Structure 1
Amino acid sequence: MPPRPALNWGLLPPSFLLPSSTRSLLPSIPIATHLSQSQTPSYTPIRTIKSTNTPRPDRFAHNPHKDALTSTSTAALDRRAHSTPLRTGLLGIKRGMTALFDTETGKRTPCTILQLDRNEVIAHKTRDKHGYFAVQIGAGSKQAYNVSRPMLGHFAEAGVAPKRWVAEFQVKTEQGLAVKVGEEVGARWFTPGQFVDVRGVSRGMGFAGGMKRHGFGGQPASHGQSLMHRGMGSAGGSQGSGSRVLPGKRMAGRMGNERVTVKNLKVMQVDEANGIVVVHGAVPGPKNQIIRIQDALGKPWPQGPMSLADIAPATIAAAGEAAADAPAATATV
């Protein structure tokens, strides 16, 4: 064991240990100067309890050896930058399903028809003022007497007619705000071959049991069951699980009528004149359901237009395609 430090016999005890009568005489007591330098305390004693537990790392740090993640809004936007689209999306109406046939192979591709109804830019959200970049899109039409006065003023400021649906599409940087307020964005905003994510409210199916709602297998259908073939079974244990139903237990209840996102749907055709976008696969919701269409997050960003100036007019594009398909004419002298 290491030697204990020498006791400082010539020093007075702390003042809080002295009685009040002696504490008043401290200024008149001469300080001992004959003590050697080795007898003076070499450390400052601290009256505390030494803990044997090592400090735990910050719960916000993903690695104890790295700095903790900040909780500011700017840091949150930076963490979501990789999953934020570069440009705005649009609002479409689900018109139904159809099929496209390949003329060479005869392959049938099921598709959904989405129609864009007068999508116009209503407002811009900036990081300096609102904390994030976003484009507010309005679609459809609505009578003025069915719109509240604050919304009428909001539409009037943008210079657009009252809209039936209004939605925000968050963008990554200020470059996503290239579409100006009041401009109408059509179906040529999406290009054939790119991938999109669609979001909508699924069709409500009412109250459903566990087998239909969650895909349970049900009870045995042979011997030993009494009218419990489609029952969900036990909902929870007794003493072992606390005599309760654990949170998140899959049980019977309302099925559907919730927001559903279908990812990575390929755009098959685009019709600018009729505002039609045909996507491969199924889209949630019934017919005439409003759908949010935006560039897919799980695929590389498409080389699509960032503003309306980047979109060639439909007539010019059609003329250019016809000229490219026509054979070259030979000049005669």
Structure 2
Amino acid sequence: MTQIFDEKNASIPVTLIKIGPCTVTQIKTVPTDGYDAVQLGFDLSKKKVEDNQKKRFLNKALEGHLKKSGALNSRYLKEYYVNRPEEFELGQTFDITNFSLNQFVDVRGKSIGKGFAGTVKRHNFSRGPMSHGSKNHREPGSIGAGTTPGRIYPGKRMAGRLGGKPTTLKRLAILRVDTDENLLVVKGSVPGKPGNLLSLTPSV
């Protein structure tokens, strides 16, 4: 994240997102797969994968699958549901040119994992009395179950793992498009830590 300034010198928080290019590695249709979707392949490295590097993450099945589209350096695959799969071609690429200024996008990614957290941090519970002898500073307190129902209902807000889940932020405005560096300048924050893999789709 960083900040930019508008014509009135107001500070705007933004996130820089490096885009693609992504290659169409498979086109799925209702007759063959039961649903319409497009599979995109992406790799973080700029250079082509050498033969000895390729063997580290490619097995024979995946290598044969990616060879059809010529995208053997695709380390990450993701599907997107589409209404008209016939408009796409195998090997077609998507990059920074598919986005425009003032467009709105939905950004999906995995949020920052924060490990095991208590109810105060995880669910914003208020704390107990801090005075001497209370013995209840950050405990969850009563969880409400008695003889009936004799158990805890699923979904009860209690301590547990916080973060590390798929999260979507909707309708983020694109403020700048840098075609030289393949960078999108998006208003606001996006899920995850720096270097996180993101999925961008046009907002409905």
Q: TM-score, normalised by structure 2?
A: 0.90
Which residue of the other structure, out of 76, 92, 95, is the alignment partner of 1:186?
Answer: 95
Q: Hey, what's the Cα distance between the residues in 1 that align with 2:24 and 2:10?
A: 39
Structure of higher CA gyration radius: 1
Q: Do the aligned partners of 2:20 and 2:96 also contact (CA within 8 Å) in 1?
A: no
Q: Hey, what's the Cα distance between the residues in 1 that align with 2:127 and 2:83?
A: 47
Amino acid at match of 1:284: P
Unaligned runs of 5+ in 2: none
Amino acid at match of 2:98: W
Structure 1 residue 224: Cα displacement = 6.2
Alignment of 1:115 onto 2:18: yes
Amino acid at match of 2:130: A
SS at match of 1:158: coil
Runs of 4+ aligned residues of structure 1 deviating over 3 Å after TM superposition are none
Which residue of the other structure, out of 127, 138, 153, is the alignment partner of 1:230?
Answer: 138
Deviations 1:76-133 (A, max 9, x none): xxxxxxxxxxxxxxxxxxxxx111100x211111111111233111111112222222
5 Å-filtered alignment, 1:178-257, equals: 178-222=87-131, 225-226=134-135, 228-239=136-147, 241-257=148-164
5 Å-filtered alignment, 1:142-161, equals: 143-146=53-56, 147-161=58-72
Amino acid at match of 1:204: G
Larger RCO: 1 or 2 (CA < 8 Å, sep 6+): 2
Amino acid at match of 2:29: T
Deviations 1:217-270 (A, max 9, x none): 1223347612x111111123212x312111111111111111111111111111
Residue equivalent to 2:37: 134
Matched length: 196
Alignment of 1:167 onto 2:86: no
Amino acid at match of 1:291: L
Q: Do the aligned partners of 2:41 and 2:71 also contact (CA within 8 Å) in 1?
A: no
Q: Hey, what's the Cα distance between the residues in 1 that align with 2:110 and 2:9?
A: 33
Which residue of the other structure, out of 191, 195, 199, is the alignment partner of 1:292?
Answer: 199
Between Structure 1 and Structure 2, which shows a larger proportion of strand residues?
2
Q: How many percent identity over aligned positions?
A: 37
Q: Hey, what's the Cα distance between the residues in 1 that align with 2:3 and 2:88?
A: 33
Amino acid at match of 1:99: Q
Structure 1 residue 153: Cα displacement = 0.5
Deviations 1:148-193 (A, max 9, x none): 111100111112232111101111234xx42321122211111111
Residue equivalent to 1:98: 2
Q: Hey, what's the Cα distance between the residues in 1 that align with 2:150 and 2:91?
A: 60
Q: Do the aligned partners of 2:20 and 2:94 also contact (CA within 8 Å) in 1?
A: no
Q: Do the aligned partners of 1:198 and 1:294 also contact (CA within 8 Å) in 2?
A: yes
Between Structure 1 and Structure 2, which shows a larger proportion of helix residues?
1
Alignment of 1:269 onto 2:172: no
Structure 1 residue 137: Cα displacement = 0.6
Please tell me the root mean square deviation across aligned C-alpha atoms, in Å.
1.6
